[in-house]
């Protein structure tokens, strides 16, 4: 039986004096793929940034792999096994694809980093022919794959994935879907996915949670995501 990898209790955060999250209770098991849906401005990205430590929690508990990480820095959380692929990708545009990957594996010795990067390139073969190209000249889809690959170079146990299909051509969306399925199985990855593409999230997630006004308000069966009533209530139209 899989055990809980990430647990939050009454998690609260915001920007300065503006509260955004109002008591998030969340649990993600080892190897579980969980989706988050909601209208814009409801706190989806804020939740991921708070879990990663980029936004400090103002109250509540964040536990990862049985350890309290609520006060840990983003770097400490990354070392513990949390990876983050932000909305907008945030790769290094002036650096080559290979150097972007080296940044992701910078915590390792040169020998170990080389082996880790080679493994990631095998898992994401689209990167092979573009290793010497700079990140800024890549297509949006190639940049998204690079951002995912850079995250994998830190060998996370949990990936926080924010709007990965935004601005990406349909062919690469399908490729990314297949890639995430394969990675989750091969690496026993847990993934927390914020996404607006209903087909993408329903094909990947085992559970889909709804966030409204900074609180998790319910859970939807992924198979029902295309119901008109649910779309009108929970999702942008």
- 169 contacts 139 by C-beta, under 8 angstroms: yes
Task: Specify whether the CB–CB gap between 12 and 37 falls below 8 A.
Answer: no
pLDDT the model gives residue 232: 55
pLDDT of residue 41: 86
Q: Are strands 190-194 and 33-37 parallel, antiparallel or unpaired?
A: parallel
Spans of the chain below 50 pLDDT = 1, 236-237
Rounded to 5 degrees, φ, ψ at 96 are -70, 165
Residues 12-30: pLDDT tens digits? Answer: 999 988 999 999 999 999 9
Spell out the residues 6+ positions from residue 151 whose beta carbon is closer than 8 angstroms to its own.
Answer: 83, 84, 85, 104, 159
Give the pLDDT score at 235. Answer: 54
- Predicted local confidence at residue 237, as pLDDT: 39
In this predicted structure, what is the pLDDT of residue 234? 55
Q: What's this model's pTM, rounded to 2 decimal places?
A: 0.92
Are the CB atoms for 195 and 164 separated by under 8 Å? yes
Q: What is the pLDDT of residue 236?
A: 47
What values do phi and psi take at 144, rounded to 5? Answer: -65, -40
- CA–CA separation, 11 and 77 (whole Å): 16
Determine the pLDDT at residue 57: 96
The pLDDT, as a whole number, for residue 152 is 97
Q: How far is CA 115 from the centre of its chain?
A: 23
* Residue 53: partners with Cβ closer than 8 Å, 6 or more residues away: 69, 72, 73, 74, 76, 77
CB 47 within 8 A of CB 193: no
Kindly list the domain boundaries of the chain, sorted by start residue: 4-87+156-234
CATH T-level assignment (fold) for domain 4-87+156-234 = Rossmann fold (3.40.50)
């Amino acid at each position: 039986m899989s055990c809980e990898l990430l647990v939050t209790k009454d998690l609260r955060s915001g920007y300065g004096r503006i509260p955004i999250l109002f008591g998030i209770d969340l649990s993600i098991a080892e190897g579980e793929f969980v989706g988050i849906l909601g209208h814009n401005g409801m706190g989806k990205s804020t939740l991921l940034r708070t879990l990663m430590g980029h936004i400090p929690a103002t109250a509540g508990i964040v536990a990862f792999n049985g350890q309290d990480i609520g006060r840990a820095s983003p770097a400490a959380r990354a070392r513990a096994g949390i990876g983050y692929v932000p909305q907008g990708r945030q790769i290094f545009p002036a650096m080559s694809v290979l150097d972007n990957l080296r940044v992701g594996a910078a915590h390792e010795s040169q020998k170990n980093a080389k082996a880790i990067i080679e493994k990631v390139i095998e898992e994401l073969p689209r990167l092979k022919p573009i290793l010497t190209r700079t990140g800024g000249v890549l297509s949006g889809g190639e940049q998204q794959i690079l951002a995912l690959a850079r995250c994998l170079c830190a060998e996370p146990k949990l990936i926080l994935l924010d709007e990965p299909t935004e601005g990406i051509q349909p062919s690469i969306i399908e490729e990314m879907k297949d890639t995430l399925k394969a990675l989750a199985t091969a690496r026993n990855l847990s993934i927390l996915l914020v996404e607006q593409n209903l087909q993408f999230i329903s094909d990947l997630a085992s559970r889909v949670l709804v966030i409204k006004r900074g609180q998790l308000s319910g859970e939807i069966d992924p198979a029902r995501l295309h119901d008109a009533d649910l779309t009108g209530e929970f999702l942008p139209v």
